[in-house]
Each structure stands twice: as structure tokens, then as C-alpha cells.
Structure 1
Amino acid sequence: MALERRKNGFVQKSSNGFIYPKNSPKRIKLDDKSFEHFEETPLYVAILTYLCYAVLTIFGHIRDFMRRNGLVESHSAMEKDRKGYVPLYHSFESFYTRNIYRRICDCWNQPIGSVPGAFIDVKQRVSTDKNWHFKMTGESIRVLNMGSYNYLGFAQTDGPCADAVEESIHHYGVGVGSTCHELGTLDVHIELQALVAEFLGVEDSIVFGMGFATNSTNIPTLVKKGCLIFSDELNHASLVLGCRLSGAVIQVVKHNDPIDLEKKIREAIISGQPTTHLPWKKIIIVVEGVYSMEGSIAKLPEIIRIKKKYNAYLYLDEAHSIGALGPNGRGVVDFYGCDPRDIDLLMGTFTKSFGAAGGYIAGSKKLIHHIRIHSHSAVYANSIAAPIAQQIVSAMEIIMGKDGTGIGQKKIQQLAWNTRYVHDNLRKMGFIVYGHDYSPVVPVLLYVPTKIAAFQRILMERGVATVVVGFPATPLVESRARFCMSAAHTKEMLDEALKVIDEVGDIIGVKYLQHKMNKS
């Protein structure tokens, strides 16, 4: 299938061996199902998963009964001496955390002792009370890092970015200690905002010190009561919070489904506001470029068509796509060859591809001026630290080729090659892999809760580190391991990792795609 797509002209192989979409992004067809994969959960696996959670729930109630009656020691937070008070919180709200999450939390909360580069040092620890408390052993294990958002490999302590950051520390210090409206705007911030706007191809931008706050505090500056938001059902929590804080009416649309989006927009315009049926003051579509749990890429050309047809606004979160997609690393807009001016609000973070922190919103000068005046993150929060801003400037200049080298383009191409290589090989091994072929997020479905911990622990023992995710971050029956690609990975590293993943998949039995193929 992959070779056939290449022959049809969807991808090309360059002289340096990298495989990447051709410069004409229009060749990427939205209706080509081979690019995006979402397998149905096998029925027997779904039944087994529900049975596992049922057993865990039953034993959880038994353990809670024993704790209440003093048969076993309880480590949970409990209110004492509050006679006459209504309970401040309900114990059952932490039932899942107490009885299920704790059993495998050693996989989800491991201390790291190094930078998130190609290899990391994971601190070793032990627990004698089933993961309620840990004791550090003083030892660490060096493993290949397949779980960090270091997409372009800029998270490192040497090289031109690190040198520029070190120099900026001597010049500016390590913090700003003021908002951008007071004493917190430095020349490096002005340089960064101008560079972001140039990189994205828009008029202006504003940067913030925290990516989560970029969404949650700025959406309320744009919409309010009487407005309507269409939000993808798998949008990030920061987008969900920002939409809720705005006071606007929110309609959730099916994930990455332009047909459902257009249907609901049409119905909303016809019906108008609830009760009054007056026209909506404003309609805004909120989507992500790459969805971090699914590995899917937004069908941006279709969404832009709908937005124009119904005079809606478009808010695009490029946290996981900026730097990681497109022939120039300019995100999903670049990936499809769309005009950035067709997106009203371009949002992104610097924590993934740039090895830094913070976020940005970019668009027209008039829009950015409004956000700069009204945003709570601009008015009340400290500006982004100068060394962090310098890290972003240095990384972005390398990506854009302003450093006079081809390093940025090589990183973009290496990430694209790594992504496709791992996607193809995992599927050949028999794993069910979600998402788009060019997404740097590669989710491998594990389903059964007991296999979440087993998969991560055995991988770690064999020298590969990744992130495992379960309920409530995913649907109950769609627990997964999430591999994140990086330009810092060489083919030799990936081959070794794939060999280990293949072995572990056989050991714990999570090659569900292979089972389906055998049956057919």
C-alpha cells in the first residue's frame, strides 16, 4: 500500500533519502482513507476490557470496605473532626484514582534525570505499599526516549540554541518579574513576536508564558454570551476550559468530521439563539492541527470551506503541528498548502517543536491588538522569560534557514521520514495504530487495562521509554501507548526500538491487527 501511494505521486524520495510529501500539498487527498487509520475495536477485546474493569471495580469496593473498617491501612486523604460540616469533597470521586490508577501509577509518574533528548536517564524507585509512596534507589536506567514532544530535537544542552540561551541569561537574567504591560516587554520579546508572525505568514502575533493559559484565558476575550462555539469532541482540556469560561453556547461536533460540522452549523444558523431565536452574534470553529491522543490531522481545507460558506471564524490550535508538519515546518496550514490568512486565529505552543515553553496567538494586527489589551495572560501574568524567548528565536531561525545552514530543513525531513517509517513498521507487525501517516504522534492501542502497565514496564526493562495512557484521558476501551517521533532519532535507534516493541507485543499479546488479518 505504501509503495503504491508513492508511485501514485503522494510522496517522493529525495536525494538524501528522506521521504516527504511533494511541494504541491494539494496532492494530499482528503478522501484518501489510507492516510488516516481508525480501526474498530475487536469485539472480543472490548468484552475482555469491560470485564477487566468490572473485576477491578469489584475489588476496589472490597478494598474500600476493608479500609473503612480498619482491616487495612488507608492512605487516602480523609476529613477529620468536621462535625456539623457537609463533606468538602466526596470520597467516591477518587475511587478510580485510589483503586485502579494507583496500581499502575509507577508507569505514569516516573522522575526523569536528564533533558528530553534521544536518550534519557530514568530515576529508579521502589514502593512497599502498592505505589502509595515511593523511595528513590539512587540508581537510574538509560533508555531510548520515545515519549517526549521533542519533535525537531531542539531540547538539548549543547548547540547554537543552548549557546544563545546561555548568552541571554548573562544579558537578561533568568526571569522578567513583570507583565508585558508594565516592565515585562524586552527587545527579545518584540523580536520573537515579529519572527512568529513572519514564520506563519500573518501580520502580527503575541506570545504568552504558558501554553495552557494561551487557550484558556484568550478564548474568553473573543467570544461571550450570545456567541456560538463549535468544538471538536477531542479538543484539548485548555480549549474546553477556554470555551466554558467564555459564557458562549458550545456545540460539540464529531471528531474531524466536516460533514457533521456543516450540518450543525446550518441548523444553528436556521434556529438562532435558544429562546429568543435571534441571530448569533458570532460563530467560531475551534479545532486542533494534530490531536495529541489520536494522532489525527485536521481536515483543514474542508473546515476552511465551511467557515467561509457560513461566515464563521476559525480558531486553529497548532500545539502539536507547528514545526512538526509541512515542507517548511509551518504546521497543518503548510501541510495542506492553505493560505494562513484564511485562519482567523492561529494558536500554537513552543513546548513541542521548539524545546521551550509558552504559547502564541497570531493573526491580523487588529485582532492581536485587541488580545494584547484584554487578555488576562497579558494583563496579569508575567511575560515569558527572556532565555526561553531566546531559545524559541534561535530554534525558529534555524527552521526558517536564517542561520545560513540547511539544518532546519534536514530536521523537518528527518522527522517526516521517522514518522512514516515507524507508522508503517508498527502496522506490519500487527499493532492497531491510530492516526494520520504523517502525524508525529503514533498511538498504539492496548485496550486491556492490565496490559497498560505490562507494556510500559517491559519496554522500560529493555531500554525503551514511552508514554502509556488510559481512562479518563482516553475512552474506557481505548487505552494506548503513545510514541512520539523526533528528528533526534536515527534509523538505527528506531530499528532497535521497533525490535523491542515487536518482542513486547508478542509477550503480552497486543497485536490485535494481526489477529484480525489471520481471521480474514
Structure 2
Amino acid sequence: MVAVSYMTALTTYFSYVMLFVFGQVRDFFHNLIDWWKHTNLQGYAPICLGLEDFYIRRLYLRVQDCFQRPISSRPDAWVDVVDRVSTDNNKTLKRTTKVRRCINLGSYNYLGFASTDEYCMSSVIQSLKRYRASTCSTRVDGGTTTLHSELEEIVAEFVGKPAALVFGMGYVTNSAILPVLIGKGGLIVSDSLNHNSIVNGARGSGAKVIVFQHNSPSHLEKILKENIVDGQPRTHRAWKKIIVVVEGIYSMEGEFCKLPEIISICKKYKAYVYIDEAHSIGAVGKTGRGICDLLGVDTADVDIMMGTFTKSFGSCGGYITGSKELIQYLKYTCPAHLYGTSITPPAAQQIISSMKVLLGRDDSSRGAQKLAKVRENSNYFRSELRKLGFEVLGDNDSPVIPIMLYNVAKLPAFSRECLKRNVAVVIVGFPAAPLLLGRARICISSAHTREDLAKALEVISRVGDLLGMKYLKAQLKDRKEAELQ
């Protein structure tokens, strides 16, 4: 749990209050002056009411230049960011012809496969020539090629499960699968910091959803024990099914789930384990097989394993792995499989080729080298940030490194100052992160050289001094002063 100082919390709340008050005042005078220009809706209600899009108009638009920045190159260790200008106080942004060459600390290119790869690129080009850019069909109609069958086989082998099913979009994998797996009369116990795709999938399932404290096996056990004793609401009948949902690496925290403890509790109370490995598959573990590989967990103990291809494999889409019976059932019932366009053939080939590299089937040791490099880079960058005095979340070996900014005003300032110095970063504020816990999320790649990381650290350190972000250094100073007194 992140401890927020009193002064940081006070100034952050004050910033939001001031934004809200001034936004309301501006809306009042704007409506007062322009009331006669009001468009006649002929009886229709306005699609966006004033309060519904208040956050967008009065908060987001002020900082929208920090988001959706267009790039004009592949998302490698360095990326070309296109500059934009605004002539209406950031309401609209127009692209310019100026391009900045920046160190890329925002893409999920953990293993560097998004760059030109001598093994992957040639096979992807050949698949494009043979199959073209899209199947233009769902999997059950004309959208299953030999590549899709090969992909599902190698995914199951790589993850260590009997069978797999792939989808064209990672977000949909969670949001469409959970409603198929469980429904009314079932119980979903979800980690409080699970991804939005899991939240939406759980809500859409019709099952009872209970949240347990982030990464707290003891709280999970308490919830399971109480709900098994009490049963379903009102009727108190036994639950038809209980599924516990966690993530391998929590995308906004950069930390690993306590999987061995969670599995032990789920076995004790006969609950199924569903794990989202979007950020961990391919990125961690000795062989890149994710959180189970890293923590020494037998994949047979995890009932449903989900992951995406958008991070470590440099492609798009997602997958579900499990028993052959489960996958066969999903093929008959999952709407994302029945009605969604299949993953494109070049994207499928990219995944197949990158997995073969990790499995050593390209007749080289590049896969092992990439895994060692991303681990080395991540640990180096995390330790150096802490030495500089930044408050950093997450575990060693995790390529996701959040730097705490807290104050809402520091989010856009950090992003803009880094961009000026040719470092591209991602900032995360409310509602993607809690109100008081704004942060910059750094993603490290095996494609980064030590020189790239050293330059990025130099820039981040300079900006940190400018914005007063080195909270650990301030805490150490306060402790020394207190000891002297």
C-alpha cells in the first residue's frame, strides 16, 4: 500500500477542488452569455449533458497534449514523436511537420520484437503475401487459416496447457470470456486492482462480484470462507461456481501477484483460479513463460490462463488456455470467437515466430538473451531511480516501473518536460489510477541499451529536481533532521 504524506494529499485534493470550482464558474458564465445560441434539439435530450462531459472539458482538455501523441516510426527503443500545436487553448491539436526522436519509455515492447527482427520479419512478409492483411471473416466462417491452428498449438505448448483459443483483441478476451464462464448463481472474487477488462467482464457476467484487498491472500481467504458459509444472497443456496481472478503483473503497480499462496487458498476452498498474464507472459521467468515460470508454480494448478500478444510478442490479440474441454466449450459459446473478426494472418505469424525465438527454434540463443536483457535493464533502471530519490513501485524483474508523482499538476508537467528533452513517457492519473496516486508508468525493453537508459535517467533526474518529485530523498532528509534534533 502506498503511503501518501499529509501535505501531498492536501495539495492534490486542493488542486482538484480548484479545477472543479473554476470549471463550474466558467460553465455558468459561458451558459449565461451564450444561452440565446442554444441549439433547438426538437424534443431530443442532449447526448452529452453538462456534468457528464465536465471532466473532459474542464480537466482532460487541459492536458490532452500529453496523450494520443502520434508517432511516425515503429515503437522501438527510440521512437519518432510528431509535434502538435493548438491555437484554441488545447481544445484541438494540429499535427506539424516537426518530429522528435525520443527514447521510448512508454511502449510494451518488452522483448524488442516490435522492431525489425531478422527471423520474424521475413516470415511475416511471406504471410502477408500469401494470406493478405485480413481474413475478412470470423473464425467460424472463413477466418480460420492454417496459421491460426498453428498459433493455438504453439501458444498451448508455450504456456504449458493442453489447449488454447486466440482472439483478435486482448481487451475483449477478458470482457467476453468471463460472462461465458460464469453467470447468475456464481461468485467472482476479484483483486481490487484488476484491469478494467476484467471488471467489465465480471459485471457483464451476472455473477455476484466481490473485491478482495490487493494482493492479500489472507483477505481472499476470509471472503471465500464467509461466502461459502453464507451461500447466495437471500436464498443461501450453495454457489454454483466460484472463480478467483488475479493478474500476473499488475499493470499500474509493476508488482507480481502472490500466486502460490492464492492457489493454495483456492484449492482449500475448491475455487477456480483465473489469471491474466497480459504483462507477464513472455516478459518474466527464466524461459519467458510468465508468472508460473518465475514463481515455480505448476500450470496445472491454474485453471484458466489468459494473456495478450500486444506486449512481449510485438503483435496484437489475446488468448485463453486451459483444458481441452474448456477450450472446446468456448469455441461453441464465446461471442468474441463466434462473431469477432479473426486475428490477422501477419499478426498471427509474428506471434508464432517470436515464440519460436523464445523456444530456441530459430537455431540461436537470442530468445534467452532477450529475456536476460529485459530483466537486467529493468532491475538497473529501478535501482537507479531509487538511488536518485524517486518513489518507485513494483518488484524486481518486472519491466513495468511506476514513478509516483501524486499531484495532478505534476502529471502534465512531467510529461511535457520529458518530451522537451526527447524522452517519451506515459502518465497515469484519475480515473485510471486513484485520485491521490498519479504516476508515470515506465516500460523497459530489451531493445534499450545501457546508454539509452543512462540518458533517460539523466533527463528524469533533471525533471524530478525541477518538479520536486524526489520524495524518497525528502523523506531521508526529514529523518536525518529528526535524528539530529
Cα 1:163/1:42, change in 2 over 3 Å = same
Alignment of 1:150-299 (within 5 A): 150-299=109-258
CA contact (8 A) 1:39 1:432 kept: no
One-letter amino acid of the structure 2 residue matched with residue 456 of structure 1: S
Cross-structure match for 1:52: 15
Alignment of 1:22-421 (within 5 A): 38-70=1-33, 80-421=39-380
User: 1:516 pairs with 475, 481, 485, which one?
Assistant: 475
* Residue 71 of structure 1, CA deviation: 7.0
Q: Percent identity?
A: 48
Q: Secondary structure of 1:321's partner?
A: coil
Structure 2 gap segments, 5+ residues each: 480-485
Task: Spell out, residue by residue over 1:399-421, the C-alpha distance to the aligned partner (whole angstroms, 9 max, x if none).
Answer: 11111110000000100011111
Cross-structure match for 1:16: none
* Residue 89 of structure 1, CA deviation: 3.8
* Residue 48 of structure 1, CA deviation: 1.0
One-letter amino acid of the structure 2 residue matched with residue 507 of structure 1: L
Q: 1:380, 1:84 → 2: CA distance?
A: 36
CA contact (8 A) 2:119 2:362 kept: no
Q: 1:137, 1:513 → 2: CA distance?
A: 39
Cross-structure match for 1:494: 453
Task: Spell out, residue by residue over 1:89-116, the C-alpha distance to the aligned partner (whole angstroms, 9 max, x if none).
Answer: 4220111111111111101121111111
Q: Secondary structure of 1:109's partner?
A: coil
Cα 1:181/1:84, change in 2 over 3 Å = closer
What TM-score, normalized to structure 2?
A: 0.97
Q: Secondary structure of 2:292's partner?
A: helix
Q: Secondary structure of 2:435's partner?
A: coil
User: 1:452 pairs with 411, 415, 418, which one?
Assistant: 411
CA contact (8 A) 1:418 1:489 kept: yes
Q: 1:224, 1:329 → 2: CA distance?
A: 34
Q: 1:93, 1:251 → 2: CA distance?
A: 27
One-letter amino acid of the structure 1 residue matched with residue 4 of structure 2: T
Q: 1:112, 1:223 → 2: CA distance?
A: 40
Q: 1:438, 1:472 → 2: CA distance?
A: 27
Paired residues, what number? 479
CA contact (8 A) 1:449 1:479 kept: yes
Q: 1:492, 1:371 → 2: CA distance?
A: 47
Q: 1:398, 1:368 → 2: CA distance?
A: 26
Task: Spell out, residue by residue over 1:77-99, the C-alpha distance to the aligned partner (whole angstroms, 9 max, x if none).
Answer: xx832244444442201111111
One-letter amino acid of the structure 2 residue matched with residue 331 of structure 1: G
Q: State which drifts further: 128-137 or 382-391.
A: 128-137
Cross-structure match for 1:3: none
What TM-score, normalized to structure 1?
A: 0.90
Q: 2:143, 2:18 → 1: CA distance?
A: 55
Q: 1:157, 1:397 → 2: CA distance?
A: 16
CA contact (8 A) 1:67 1:73 kept: no
* Residue 397 of structure 1, CA deviation: 0.5
Q: 1:442, 1:396 → 2: CA distance?
A: 25
Task: Spell out, residue by residue over 1:30-60, the C-alpha distance to the aligned partner (whole angstroms, 9 max, x if none).
Answer: xxxxxxxx54111111111111111111111
Q: State which drifts further: 378-387 or 83-92.
A: 83-92
Q: 2:99, 2:312 → 1: CA distance?
A: 27
Q: 2:67, 2:321 → 1: CA distance?
A: 34
Q: 2:68, 2:36 → 1: CA distance?
A: 23
Q: 1:204, 1:323 → 2: CA distance?
A: 18
Structure 1 gap segments, 5+ residues each: 1-37
RMSD over aligned CA atoms reads: 1.5
